[in-house]
Amino acid sequence: MNHKTCGLAVLAMAVFLGGTAGAKDKETKAPEEATLDQFTMGDVLNGVPFKAEDLKGSPAVIEFWGVHCPPCVASLPELAKLQKKYDSKGLKIVGVHRQQAPDEEILKVLKTAKVSYPVVRTGTAPLKNDGIPHAFVFGRDGKMVWRGSPHDEEFMKAVRSVVK
């Protein structure tokens, strides 16, 4: 490869990486106008009593996930522990399943992960969130304070900030 070709390859890589890094930064920042009441929830899948109104006035986490997504399944036991740890502080967690799968398959995974928070079949968010797992963290006022992967270290910081 000559110097000119090598230089073009480096330039192309820099443009590519710069574009994807900027997109990721934008994806994880919570716009101030996003609020909990802009999210919709489908029917409860795992039998845990739940209505969207139950989230009003509470710190909350909504996680979009799928049973065929290994990182999603890995986050379930951690979210279940988080729910128990901060239950006394009013934290509410809702899982929103986003993939096609039989109920029995989903319920088996939830049982293994010891999930006791409500999991709904479908739901929508006012913001683009194509990738899963994708969590949204809300303060007691219903305003979103953070969004991104529940495996990100910033996720726990956001949760701790809303349960104070």
Same domain, 2 and 48: no
pTM of the model: 0.79
Give backbone dihedrals phi and psi of 119, rounded to 5 degrees, phi first: -125, 125
Question: What's the CA gap between 130 and 127, in Å, rounded?
Answer: 9
Tens-digit pLDDT string for the chain (164 aa) = 444 433 333 333 333 333 333 333 334 444 456 899 999 999 999 999 999 999 999 999 999 999 999 999 999 999 999 999 999 999 999 999 999 999 999 999 999 999 999 999 989 898 887 789 999 999 999 999 999 999 999 999 999 999 99
Q: 21 with 71, same domain?
A: no
The reply to whether 124 and 46 lie within a common domain is: yes
Which domain covers residue 9, as residue numbers? 1-30
State whether 144 and 73 are in the same domain.
Answer: yes
The answer on 38 and 95 residing in a single domain is yes
Residues 49 and 88 in one domain: yes
Same domain for 35 and 18: no
129, 69: one domain: yes
